[in-house]
Amino acid sequence: MKGEVSGSEKSALSLFFEPQSVAVIGSLREGYFGGYVVVKTLLNAGFGGKIYPVNPSYQEVLGLKVYPSINEIPEKIDLVLIMINRRSVPDVMRECAGKGIKSVIVVADGFAERDEEGAKLQNEILEIAREAGIRILGPNTAGVVNSANGLIPDPYEPGYKKVKPGAVAICAQTGMINPQAFPYADLHYGVSKICDYGNKCDVDECDLLEYLESDPATKVITMYLESIQDGQRFLKISKRVTAQKPVLILKSGRTKEGAKVSASHTGALAVDDQIFSAACKQAGIIRLEKFRELFELPKIFSLQPLPKGNRLGIVTFTGGVGVLAIDEGSKYGLSVARLSPEIAKKLDAIFPGLGKTVVDIGPPMAVNNYMTIYSEIIKTVLSDDHIDCLFNVIWTSPFKEFVEEYLKFYGELRGSHQKTIATWIYGPSIPLINDMSGRMEDLGFPVFSDLETAIKALGIAYQYSNRKKGEE
């Protein structure tokens, strides 16, 4: 029954992410897609559990024994991935039922998303699953990732082996979030879990929210939604989850159902998207506007502490950026912090005229022992009680040595303060910016792609923290 998650159901869901053994049913032909790639990506990521490739035409693949069918596998299987022609999926599902399998990822496509026959097949496999107590993820999905145990059964070649463990869980009704579609490795982007839940014929957004709520590795959940299965259940669960960890949602699909003709104003005005927005406000969900934000904004929650208030400090190399930051901040209720008199005095002593609302470190840059001064300035600003969060702008310079010095400083700074810091790195060299950004995030300092996103990250962190305070 939907809506009532029993103990066994919960554990069935955890099998999608924490299986001891995985059976891979599909083509084992070497290539860019299919069972072969799944086995390869699992091996590359160092998956700790057992891997059972299943295919009647092979004896061995990538050094692993291949079984002609799952019935031939002598041991218990926690998770099955199915990547075969849609018409053969029901038969394989019946085999899974016979073998007592509880969790199946149907990677295969051509179901409800394609045509009537596909919709029928989807219903058929769902019926088999319900009867046998199997949970289905998909169909039409690129599947899951668990960074902690090397579970990367990617049906497409990502070209890199591992995903850095982190605290962001990313879910979507699309494979645009799986390793083959996003440069997690290049960006040093840390995730706990990734889940494409495809057509969500069974496992849906509510199930995932519930699982991730109790997942200790996940500090923040970010989700792309196309529709909601059960609005009341979604509201209830997400309200509970947001009280513990932030939930960020990007939603598409303003459906036709909304503007139905009605005898009253209320019915006619209740357009779906507006209702979804209202539900988000009630549940404390942070609503995203752009696909890019799905990845960027959660970093403020996964890497930084929540701000205690709305006072925004700004460190910049140019006055213009400071003014833009103040404008952006006001959109989210951030107000520019007035430095405390003693801190302003200290800064002025470091460099004349530095102790202003916007700390402009452009002028002191000309000084010889710049990095020493830079360290002092940042430490002094961070010690100010009048600041809750900091928009930290860094200019890389064209020199690698410079970047290394910055990184050395931030390595030392790590963990020495309680402020929320959002960093924006700019400069004349893309490779240097990218290199520094990734390594800053390794150190726990999230770097955002532009000024607006950095400020928005601080803004939503403040709003989340403020709401949470109201509930305590």
CB neighbour list of residue 368: distance below 8 Å, 6 or more residues apart: none
**279 touches other proteins (CB under 8 A):** yes
Torsion of CA 215, 464, 422, 224, to 10 degrees: 60
How far apart are the C-alpha atoms of 340 and 343, rounded to whole Å?
A: 5
CB nearer to other proteins: give 238 or 392: 238
Spell out, one character per residue from 188 to 227, where the chain touches other proteins: x when CB under 8 A holds, - when not.
Answer: ---------------------------------------x
CB nearer to other proteins: give 88 or 262: 262
* Count of other CB atoms within 10 angstroms of residue 231: 12
Bridge partners of 291? none
CB nearer to other proteins: give 8 or 265: 265
Considering only 57, 85, 264, 369, the residue that binds other proteins (CB under 8 A) is 264
Considering only 65, 68, 100, 278, the residue that binds other proteins (CB under 8 A) is 278
CB–CB of 406/435 below 8 Å? no
Considering only 4, 116, 257, 289, the residue that binds other proteins (CB under 8 A) is 257
Q: Which two tokens stand for residue 298?
A: 């959660």
Considering only 88, 214, 232, 335, the residue that binds other proteins (CB under 8 A) is 232
**266 touches other proteins (CB under 8 A):** yes
Considering only 71, 244, 252, 274, the residue that binds other proteins (CB under 8 A) is 274
CB nearer to other proteins: give 279 or 361: 279
CB nearer to other proteins: give 214 or 232: 232
Considering only 11, 87, 117, 275, the residue that binds other proteins (CB under 8 A) is 275
CA dihedral over 216, 220, 224, 227, signed as positive or negative: positive
* Count of other CB atoms within 10 angstroms of residue 115: 11
**228 touches other proteins (CB under 8 A):** yes
Considering only 123, 252, 282, 372, the residue that binds other proteins (CB under 8 A) is 282
CB–CB of 17/144 below 8 Å? yes
CB nearer to other proteins: give 1 or 261: 261
Q: Smallest gap, in angstroms, from Cβ of residue 277 to other proteins?
A: 8
Q: Which two tokens stand for residue 371?
A: 């990095």
Q: Which among 200, 423, 400, 212 is positioned nearest to 317, based on CA atoms? A: 423
User: Would you give the DSSP letter of residue 348?
Assistant: H
CB–CB of 81/112 below 8 Å? no
Q: Smallest gap, in angstroms, from Cβ of residue 271 to other proteins?
A: 9
How far apart are the C-alpha atoms of 312 and 326, rounded to whole Å?
A: 8
Binding-site size for other proteins (CB under 8 A) equals 24
DSSP of 19-35:
-SEEEEEE---SSSBSH
How far apart are the C-alpha atoms of 127 and 292, rounded to whole Å?
A: 37
Considering only 202, 207, 213, 272, the residue that binds other proteins (CB under 8 A) is 272
**333 touches other proteins (CB under 8 A):** no
Q: Smallest gap, in angstroms, from Cβ of residue 112 to other proteins?
A: 18
Q: Which among 10, 81, 2, 7 is positioned nearest to 39, based on CA atoms? A: 81
Q: Which stretch binds other proteins (CB under 8 A): 159-167, 273-281, 354-362, 437-445?
A: 273-281
Considering only 97, 119, 185, 270, the residue that binds other proteins (CB under 8 A) is 270
Is the bond into 139 cis (omega within 30 degrees of 0)? yes
By CB under 8 A, the residues from 412 to 451 that bind other proteins are none
What is the tally of helices (H) and strands (E) in the chain?
Answer: 17, 19
Q: Smallest gap, in angstroms, from Cβ of residue 120 to other proteins?
A: 24
Q: Which among 374, 358, 352 is positioned nearest to 319, based on CA atoms? A: 358
CB nearer to other proteins: give 270 or 324: 270
List of residues contacting other proteins (CB under 8 A): 227-228, 231-232, 235, 257, 262-267, 269-270, 272, 274-279, 281-282, 470
